[in-house]
Amino acid sequence: MSAIHPAQIDQMTRHAPFDRMERSHLLWMLERMQLGYYAKGEVVVSPAQGVVERFFVIKQGLVEGEQSVADATESDTWLELVEGESFPLGALLASRSVASVYRAGQDTFCYELPVADFHTLLGMSAPFRDFCTRRIANLLEHSKQVIQAQYTQSGAEQQSLTSPLSSIIRRTPVTCAPHTTIAAVLETMHASRVGSMIAVDEAGRPVGILTLPDVLERIALPQIDLHTPVIEVMTTKLTALSPQSFAHEAALLMAKHGFRHVLVVENERLVGLVSEKDLFALQRVGLRQIGSTIRHAQTTPELQQAAADIRSMAHNMMAQGVAPEQLTQFISTFNDLLTARVVELEFGASGLIGTPIYDGMCWMALGSEGRLEQTLNTDQDNAIIFVTPDGMDAEQVRTTLLPVARRINETLDQCGFPLCKGEIMASNPKWCQSLEEWKHGFAKWIDGGAPEALLHASIFFDFRALYGAHDLADNLRQWLSRYARSNPRFLRQMSANALRNRPPLGLVRDFVLNDSDRIDLKLNGIAPFVDAARIFSLAAGVSHTSTLQRLRLSAEALHIPATDVEAWINALLFIQMLRLRHHDEVCGKPDAECLPAMDNLIDPEQMNELDRRILKEAFRQARKVQARLTLEYQL
């Protein structure tokens, strides 16, 4: 290509990574490329050709990758590549032959760069190198920038929750010695115009904190002598984060515990203080206010308003560009608070608080809430585990708990969490059981392996304690981890069942669509990763219920390369982001009326080119995580 036409440059710069490369590097590449033609059905490159000798970029046409599921372990499998896409990166980087047969799906033209020039370009261009070595992560960064641009107007005034606390600290915290009198502390707070005072010891370690609300509750109302050492009225059970922690972590602490301030500590020494005002001001309601509203709610209308505030918060965080992992954690955390408050109020109304039944009961979250992965479109999945008090049997306890559980489920329904159509709820007698009954049920599922057992495993193995006697859920989790690991046959059956749900990639067209000509992002996109992560965690003895943590923590035990896990996680997060954006767009305004209209169905024809490309790559990663299951259990 000795004569480069401006149209060729324009075509290349419409696609990643060429849109980020320096013009001189792009021209250097184009000058060394040749243009190849392949008729429909002709092989472009195959394993039989040996070590790859060229880097291909599709100028026009379609290239398909052909490989069986059982052999699919490399990065270049199940491909359907169109204009602007490049291949075979994995083989080029590893200096090996390809694992797939690349064949022209129609008459196709490709730009071709010799392998020696490919490696030279890797050294010249950082954007090109980053794309080739971290393809999906690089594409996701592209998409993130596009999304943030779309939300710029609504989120322009908001602080980023991905900022480290070190960048948010505004001033050196005002401190005192523990023995300083209350009078002296109050004078300093007034003179310095601060809302808190931190007591530190001689080594600079924080030992107590006093805030303005504490002054009324702990000093003025009890009429404490102002000459009393301030440490005697301070909060001494402190929670702190490091300067490297992120703003969203501080926000979660404030939301969960009602804090107004978070201490920033490094090497045990106080280095800063972050207040709610320092973090951000959401457009309609602050995080701590939502948490406070939930904790003090007494009526269903108050809880309904809190649920609406949670939806508003999610919309605002989308505007801020908050990553899907953090956003779903926020949504799940607040939904936890709301559910816990509903449970507390209903048990209070029942008169059971303080009884052996109440003290030996644990309300558990299941499904996406159990994995801390809820979006705005979520129904109820919950259960109860209990210990049987002396003098009673399990059926008597169940009879007492079920009416309360039914009222809890009904109240949550009124707050925007629909009743589960499959009745996977604590008000169902089958899912309100003693610890012994739960163990017996899990053992029966694991030992039997019937289709119904596999279905239950996909729901109930994600349980997480939400309210009450958390130690019961911990006990069950530890027992389950040991029991499941001792039964590889069951894990193999779970794997075979998971592999029935294939990611919707097609050979004739980009995607395989359902009867409504759309893709179910939850069933076909999220589920393959969730199912595989659950099986990996059971095999590795990982107790965490989050899909991302399951993948991260299982990798080392199962000898899964870190690069593979990173690609899987990036793919999962992108699909989750598409779901969140879809819900946000469908809702328009985050009120309860829009909830029934929410679904997980997306029309790929309505997506922009970049997102379509990343979604294809994400589905390829879903197929690769399934290939790992195939390899592990010889399916």
- Candidates 574, 553, 577, 575; CA nearest to 565 is 553
More confident residue, 260 or 586: 260
What per-residue confidence (pLDDT) applies to 77?
38
Query: Do 123 and 174 lie in a common domain?
Result: no
Q: Work out the pLDDT band at 281, boundaries 50, 70, 90.
A: very low
Query: Do 24 and 98 lie in a common domain?
Result: yes
Span 5-31, mean pLDDT?
A: 90
Instruction: Among 8-22, 29-43, 336-350, 449-463, name the one with the lowest average pLDDT.
Output: 449-463
Q: What is the DSSP-derived secondary structure letter of residue 99?
A: S
Q: Work out the pLDDT band at 319, boundaries 50, 70, 90.
A: low
Give the separation between CA 2 and CA 238, rounded to whole angstroms. 68
153's enclosing H/E stretch is helix 152-155
- Per DSSP, the three-state class of 272 is strand
In a domain, 546, yes or no: no
Query: Do 269 and 180 lie in a common domain?
Result: yes
Domain with 183 in it: what CATH number? 3.10.580.10
Mean residue pLDDT of the chain comes to: 85
Span 123-152, mean pLDDT?
A: 69
Return the structure tokens found at 118: 């490919």
In a domain, 318, yes or no: no
Q: How many CA atoms lie within 13 A of 559 on its CB side?
A: 2
Amino acid identity, position 198? I
Query: Do 172 and 272 lie in a common domain?
Result: yes
Q: Of the residues 279, 310, 336, which one is the last residue of a structural domain?
A: 279
What per-residue confidence (pLDDT) applies to 159?
46
Helices (H) and strands (E) in the chain, counts: 25, 20
Return the structure tokens found at 113: 């760069």
Q: Dihedral sign for Cα 32, 37, 40, 42, please.
A: negative
Span 614-621, mean pLDDT?
A: 87
% of residues, the chain, pLDDT over 70? 88
Q: Dihedral sign for Cα 430, 433, 436, 439, please.
A: positive
More confident residue, 563 or 609: 563
Reported as a single tens digit per residue, the pLDDT across 505-529 is 865 456 888 778 899 999 989 999 9
Q: Of the residues 133, 148, 179, which one is the last residue of a structural domain?
A: 133
How far from chain centre, in Å, is Cα 567? 14
Q: Residue 198 sits in which domain range?
A: 165-279
Q: Work out the pLDDT band at 131, boundaries 50, 70, 90.
A: confident
Q: Is the pLDDT of residue 562 over 90?
A: no
What per-residue confidence (pLDDT) applies to 510?
67
Give the separation between CA 556 and CA 99, rounded to whole angstroms. 25
Query: Do 198 and 258 lie in a common domain?
Result: yes
In a domain, 253, yes or no: yes
Q: Dihedral sign for Cα 30, 34, 39, 40, please.
A: negative
In a domain, 610, yes or no: no
pTM: 0.66
Span 145-168, mean pLDDT?
A: 58
Give me the DSSP letters along 507-537: SSSSB---TTSSEEIIIIIIHHHHHHHHHHH
Reported as a single tens digit per residue, the pLDDT across 226-241 is 999 999 999 998 889 9
More confident residue, 199 or 152: 199
Other CB atoms within a 10 A radius of the CB of residue 188 amount to 15
* CB of 459 closer than 8 Å to CB of 430: no
Q: Of the residues 223, 250, 279, which one is the last residue of a structural domain?
A: 279
Q: What is the DSSP-derived secondary structure letter of residue 78?
A: S
In a domain, 443, yes or no: no
Amino acid identity, position 220? A
Reported as a single tens digit per residue, the pLDDT across 243-272 is 999 888 888 888 777 788 899 999 999 999
Strands in 174-311 per DSSP E = 175-176, 196-200, 206-211, 240-241, 261-266, 269-275
Q: Is the pLDDT of residue 30 over 90?
A: yes
Query: Do 31 and 124 lie in a common domain?
Result: yes
In a domain, 218, yes or no: yes
429-465 burial, b if ≥16 CB within 10 A, otherwise e?
A: eebbbbbebbbebbeebbeebeeebbebbbbbbbbbb
Instruction: Among 13-27, 64-78, 281-295, 503-517, name the one with the lowest average pLDDT.
Output: 64-78
Strands 101-104 and 86-87 turn out to be: unpaired
In a domain, 71, yes or no: yes
Q: Is the pLDDT of residue 533 over 60?
A: yes
Q: What is the DSSP-derived secondary structure letter of residue 505?
A: B
Sheet holding 86-87, edge to edge: 34-38, 108-114, 54-60, 86-87
Span 399-422, mean pLDDT?
A: 94
* CB of 405 closer than 8 Å to CB of 427: yes
Domain with 30 in it: what CATH number? 2.60.120.10
Query: Do 18 and 120 lie in a common domain?
Result: yes
What per-residue confidence (pLDDT) applies to 596?
57
Q: Work out the pLDDT band at 280, boundaries 50, 70, 90.
A: low
What per-residue confidence (pLDDT) applies to 283?
36
- Candidates 85, 91, 89, 90; CA nearest to 105 is 85
Provide the domain count of the chain. Answer: 2
Reported as a single tens digit per residue, the pLDDT across 495-505 is 999 999 988 88
Q: Is the pLDDT of residue 124 over 90?
A: yes
Q: Is the pLDDT of residue 69 over 50?
A: no
Query: Do 11 and 128 lie in a common domain?
Result: yes
Return the structure tokens found at 267: 């090497």
In a domain, 528, yes or no: no
Reported as a single tens digit per residue, the pLDDT across 157-187 is 344 566 788 877 867 889 999 999 999 999 9
Q: Work out the pLDDT band at 471, boundaries 50, 70, 90.
A: very high
What per-residue confidence (pLDDT) applies to 146?
57
- Per DSSP, the three-state class of 548 is helix
Query: Do 82 and 186 lie in a common domain?
Result: no
What per-residue confidence (pLDDT) applies to 635?
65
What per-residue confidence (pLDDT) applies to 73?
39
* CB of 139 closer than 8 Å to CB of 617: yes
Span 260-289, mean pLDDT?
A: 76
Query: Do 129 and 11 lie in a common domain?
Result: yes
Query: Do 105 and 174 lie in a common domain?
Result: no
Q: Is the pLDDT of residue 128 over 80?
A: yes
Amino acid identity, position 16? A
What per-residue confidence (pLDDT) applies to 285?
47
What per-residue confidence (pLDDT) applies to 153?
43
Amino acid identity, position 222? P
Strands 63-66 and 101-104 turn out to be: antiparallel
38's enclosing H/E stretch is strand 34-38
What per-residue confidence (pLDDT) applies to 595?
59
Q: What share of the chain is helix, strand, coil (3-state, %, to 5)?
A: 55, 15, 30
What per-residue confidence (pLDDT) applies to 149?
54
Q: Is the pLDDT of residue 150 over 80?
A: no
Q: Work out the pLDDT band at 155, boundaries 50, 70, 90.
A: very low
What per-residue confidence (pLDDT) applies to 70?
35
- Candidates 54, 14, 7, 9; CA nearest to 27 is 9
Instruction: Among 36-45, 141-150, 540-549, name the one with the lowest average pLDDT.
Output: 141-150
Q: Is the pLDDT of residue 468 over 60?
A: yes
Query: Do 98 and 169 lie in a common domain?
Result: no
